[in-house]
Amino acid sequence: MKDDDPKPGVVIDVMPEKEGADAATAEQALPDAADDRQQGGGMLAVVVAVVTLLVASAGGYLGYREVDRVGGELAELRQQLGNVENRHADMWQSIDLAVSSVEEQRSQLDMQREVLAQQRLAADEARAAFQRQEQILADERVHLQEREGELRAAVADVHQRVGRSGNQWIIAETEYLMRVAAHRLALARDVVTAQAALELADQRLRDTLDPGWAGVREQIAREVAALSAYQGPDHSGLSARLAALSAQVPALKPARVTIGAKSVKATDEPEETDGRSWDTLFSDLWAGFKDTVRIRERDQPVQAMLSPEHEFFLYENLKLHLAAARLGLARADQALFRENLVAAADWVRQYFDPDAGGAMTLLTALDELQALDIRPALPDISKSLRALRARKQLMVGVLPGTATSR
């Protein structure tokens, strides 16, 4: 940078041009005032010298200020240049670090490329192994398909021979369960087993996934509800009650010592001692025979021809009737149950004292038991079986496997 270059904010002094103008004016005035030059020459020289000195002083001052300013700018520029050099040094250091990092990353990248190449090679080998395995699986699939076709043909042959499809087997099992329920209810009056068998039959029909069995399932549901609502006699409670009555038998008191019908005493007739003769001998013998042997007519058989010392058998016979009534209760035999209760009540009325030993209590209990129905009517569960068989008739002639629609 030169010292004479214009700078911003610098005021350029134009005094030298004024000095030139004054000189020109002075030169123009010299010819006209030639005479006066000599007189005022000294004064003018002094003035010019003073003016020149002032201009020189102003120019020096301005030059000094300009130099001082330029020096400050140069110092500032030098400082900025130092900062730039420091930044350049930092930048170069950062560049060196970046270069080293790039080199390190490049080495890592090379290592990763090697690893990737190895992995790619392993993947290629695995792909080849998978392809070989896929080929083996394809061969196995073909073999399995062939085997499946053979099995299907065998199953079709079995269906054709047996004449039943999978659902038909289920229907056969359902029919068997319903028959078991009907037999258990009719023969053993086993309501619990019959209900369980019907519920299993309904589950088997559900497994067919055939909506055509909906009517049969509705009938099964109605029969299961009827069995659930059925209230049979309390056989256990009644049996316990009969056992308690049998335990009360030893407390009864016989009505009389002689068991059987009351003896009929012969009327006392005055004996005629006078008038007996050989003529009345036959009539006397016949009267004596009639007093010795008596013939009675009974419309009912004699039930207990026991001597008074054998009262034990009287109590045991009564217990035997109660035990037979319990047996009829266990078998749900209404006739056997009622007959033995009636016989026990008649036995108590005929051979025991009704006013002693709790005989009236026993008779009241026996009369109440006679009024019980130990074999009430059971629900009818045959409609579902008839509905099942009716729908099976509709499936006659259908090919195996198409008996039911899914």
| Same domain flag for 75 and 38 | yes
Rounded Cα distance between 52 and 18, Å, is 11
Burial level of 99, CB count in 10 A (0-12/13-18/19+)? exposed
| Same domain flag for 209 and 325 | no
Q: Is the dihedral of CA 122, 124, 129, 130 positive or negative?
A: positive
* Residue 262 Rama label (left phi>0; alpha psi -120 to 50; beta): beta
Residue 130 falls inside a structural domain: no
Average pLDDT over residues 227-245: 85
pLDDT digits (tens, 9 = 90+) for 88-143: 888 898 898 988 888 898 889 899 889 989 998 998 998 898 889 889 989 988 98
CA-to-CA separations, 369 to 143, 306, 333, 375, in angstroms, rounded: 77, 29, 14, 13
| Same domain flag for 373 and 390 | no
Whether pLDDT at 257 is above 50: no
Rounded Cα distance between 254 and 356, Å, is 9
Q: What pLDDT is stored for residue 310 in this prediction?
A: 67
Rounded Cα distance between 395 and 210, Å, is 13
Share of the chain above pLDDT 90, in %: 9
| Same domain flag for 172 and 223 | yes
Cα of 164 vs its chain's centroid, Å: 35
Q: What pLDDT is stored for residue 262 in this prediction?
A: 43
| Same domain flag for 178 and 115 | no
Q: How many domains does the structure of the chain reveal?
A: 3
Cα of 162 vs its chain's centroid, Å: 39
| Same domain flag for 353 and 245 | yes
Residue 137 falls inside a structural domain: no
Average pLDDT over residues 56-68: 85
Biggest CA pair distance of the chain: 255
- Of residues 254 and 37, which shows the higher confidence score? 254
| Same domain flag for 238 and 370 | yes
Residue 287 falls inside a structural domain: no
pLDDT band at 293 (very low <50, low <70, confident <90, very high): low
Residue 272 falls inside a structural domain: no
CB 181 within 8 A of CB 395: no
Lowest mean pLDDT, pick from 69-78, 189-198, 249-258, 326-335: 249-258
- Of residues 181 and 259, which shows the higher confidence score? 181
Average pLDDT over residues 194-223: 90
Burial letters 172-191, b for 16+ CB under 10 A, else e: eebbebbebbbebbeeebeb
Whether pLDDT at 322 is above 50: yes
Average pLDDT over residues 141-169: 75
Burial level of 61, CB count in 10 A (0-12/13-18/19+)? exposed
What's the pTM?
Answer: 0.41
- Of residues 374 and 27, which shows the higher confidence score? 374
Share of the chain above pLDDT 70, in %: 71
Tokens for 89, please give them: 């040094």
Residue 339 falls inside a structural domain: yes
Cα of 142 vs its chain's centroid, Å: 40
Residue 292 falls inside a structural domain: no
| Same domain flag for 212 and 321 | no
Instruction: Name the average pLDDT for the chain.
Output: 77
Alpha-helical segments (H) within 230-310: 235-247, 281-292
Rounded Cα distance between 390 and 397, Å, is 14
Lowest mean pLDDT, pick from 39-48, 65-74, 98-107, 114-123: 39-48
| Same domain flag for 84 and 46 | yes
Residue 125 falls inside a structural domain: no
| Same domain flag for 24 and 68 | yes
Range of the domain at 169: 164-230+381-394
| Same domain flag for 310 and 363 | yes
| Same domain flag for 251 and 347 | yes
The torsion angles phi and psi of 352, rounded to 5 degrees, stand at -125, 155
Residue 114 falls inside a structural domain: yes
